[in-house]
Amino acid sequence: MADKHVVRFEPVGIEIEVGEDQAVLRAAAEQGLMLMHGCKEGQCASCKSFVLDGDDIELDRYSTFALPDYEKEEGYTLLCRAHVYEDVTIELLNFDEEMIRSGLPIVNAVAEVVANDPVTHDLRHLVLRLAEPKELTFFPGQYVDIAVPGAEATRSFSMANTSSRDGGRLEFVIKVYPDGLFSHFLDTRVAVGDRLSLTGPFGVFTLREGHGEDLLFVGGGAGMAPILALLRSMAERGVQRRATYYYGARRRRDLCFEQELRALEKTLPGFRYVPALSEEDWDGEVGLITDVVRRHEHDLRNTHAYLCGPPPMVEAAMPLLTALGVPQKHIYFDKFTTTG
Ligand SMILES: Cc1cc2nc3c(=O)[nH]c(=O)nc-3n(C[C@H](O)[C@H](O)[C@H](O)COP(=O)(O)OP(=O)(O)OC[C@H]3O[C@@H](n4cnc5c(N)ncnc54)[C@H](O)[C@@H]3O)c2cc1C
Ligand code: FES
């Protein structure tokens, strides 16, 4: 059994024990602590923290975009990659008191494929039914890691549904890359009745309660999945907040869940769905999704924003939303970073 050390998190004053064989983020999650994170693979920088005390920390492989060498030398670390070999104190730079103690247990599960259908030319709608255990509780907007059959690899996919009405069903929207390890396999090999192993839930892209602030969602590509989950949960709970969903696609053939989103405009009184195409003229919005947001929105000071999709879209939207007045701490995002 691996030696364990105490990790103290400031300014929240929480201590946990972490085995040398586990990354700090994973150990925290297993002990019910939901620290800020995204990719869990050293790519997105969401878990970046500062080491206040302790030197003996080693990092698994990570991207220097997420943690440049000069930051590492200054004392920053990535909790998803960090293994500690002595007691340490870590300052959480980015944390959410509402979320931190709301961690749900992480479960290893096996699920059966119920449907695997195209929703656009390159997006698939994968539906799983949990076999063992039969149910999984997750917050709308969270994701699971699905094991790639026959490879020692996992890929993260966000649930598009909620677990409140049927905790045994997991719905995903997955982009197919021609040479993608998992997505190509999904496209060509996965059939109804097949079994997949998964672990979760993970992720902090969940709806914060707030005090009636407006909501702004910006999504692109498969970023549809967790945003759909948030909207579906708002409909289930009758959330009345004013909300706008800007969804960026290239062409008409890339749009999906149109009927459901239009129906949500009727169910949710304050909700508006604004799709935009960047490569085709039509009778809707045209342009990059960030340009469309810029055209429509002028004062977002009383707004919580949720961004999800490819990293370049999320990175382009963040400074725009800050410039339009969304407080930094109320910009929530999931970057769909890739491993391949
Ligand atoms: C928190 C989180 C949640 C996620 N949720 C979802 C989700 O709900 N739906 C979803 O589809 N994905 C999601 N992703 C991304 C997903 O985990 C995989 O990274 C992605 O599906 C690619 O996996 P793959 O095995 O098919 O391709 P890989 O084998 O990882 O990639 C192989 C090759 O495919 C190409 N490729 C892969 N990704 C890209 C890209 N983004 N742009 C251009 N070329 C690329 C490249 O040529 C790459 O070398 C999420 C990622 C994170 C971190
Ligand atoms: S870099 Fe740690 S969660 Fe993405």
The secondary structure of 160-219 as a DSSP string is SS-SSS-TTEEEEEEEPPTT-HHHHHHHHT--TT-EEEEEEEE-------TTS-EEEEEE
Atom of ligand 1 nearest to the CA of 336: 51
What share of the chain has pLDDT > 90, as a percent? Answer: 91
The residues that bridge with 6 in the sheet, in sequence order, are 17
pLDDT, position 184:
95
Q: Which residue has the tokens 């990719």?
A: 39
CB of 338 within 6 A of ligand 1: the answer is: yes
CB of 80 within 6 A of ligand 2: the answer is: yes
Average pLDDT over residues 322-335: 96
pLDDT, position 165:
84
Average pLDDT over residues 203-220: 93
* Cα(196) to centroid(ligand 1), Å: 17
Q: What CATH number labels 214-335?
A: 3.40.50.80
pLDDT band at 98 (very low <50, low <70, confident <90, very high): confident
Kindly report the pTM of this predicted structure.
0.95
- Average pLDDT of the chain? 95
Atom of ligand 1 nearest to the CA of 143: 3
Residues 22 and 2: their CA atoms lie apart, in Å, by 9
For 193, phi then psi, to 5°, come to: 100, -20
Domain regions of the chain by residue span = 4-100, 107-202, 214-335
Task: Select the CATH number that applies to the domain covering 107-202 from these four: 3.40.605.10, 2.40.10.10, 3.40.50.620, 2.40.30.10.
Answer: 2.40.30.10
CATH 3.10.20.30 fits 4-100, yes or no: yes
pLDDT, position 2:
82
| Each residue's pLDDT tens digit, 104-127 | 889 999 999 999 999 999 999 999
* Cα(138) to centroid(ligand 1), Å: 22
Q: Which residue has the tokens 């999945």?
A: 225
CB of 177 within 6 A of ligand 1: the answer is: yes
CB atoms closer than 10 angstroms to residue 34: 23
The residues that bridge with 146 in the sheet, in sequence order, are 155, 198
| Each residue's pLDDT tens digit, 161-170 | 999 888 899 9
pLDDT, position 102:
84
| pLDDT above 90 (res 103) | no
Average pLDDT over residues 178-191: 95
pLDDT, position 47:
96
Residues 282 and 254: their CA atoms lie apart, in Å, by 13
| pLDDT above 70 (res 340) | no
Query: Does residue 37 contact residue 99 with C-beta atoms inside 8 Å?
Result: no
Residues 59 and 90: their CA atoms lie apart, in Å, by 15
CB of 102 within 6 A of ligand 1: the answer is: no
Ligand 2 pocket: which of 24, 34, 36, 37 to mutate (most atoms within 8 A of CB): 37
Atom of ligand 2 nearest to the CA of 79: 2
Take atom 40 of ligand 1 and give the residue whose Cα is closest.
338
* Cα(96) to centroid(ligand 1), Å: 27
CB of 39 within 6 A of ligand 2: the answer is: yes
Residues 93 and 49: their CA atoms lie apart, in Å, by 5
CB of 44 within 6 A of ligand 2: the answer is: yes
Ligand with an atom nearest the CA of residue 339: 1
Atom of ligand 2 nearest to the CA of 40: 3
pLDDT, position 170:
98
* Cα(118) to centroid(ligand 1), Å: 17
pLDDT: which is higher, 337 or 225? 225
Average pLDDT over residues 226-252: 97
327 exposure class (CB count in 10 Å sphere: 0-12, 13-18, 19+): middle
Ligand 1 pocket: which of 46, 183, 336, 338 to mutate (most atoms within 8 A of CB): 338
Which range, of 20-24, 254-258, 336-340, averages the lowest pLDDT? 336-340
Take atom 1 of ligand 2 and give the residue whose Cα is closest.
42
Atom of ligand 2 nearest to the CA of 38: 3
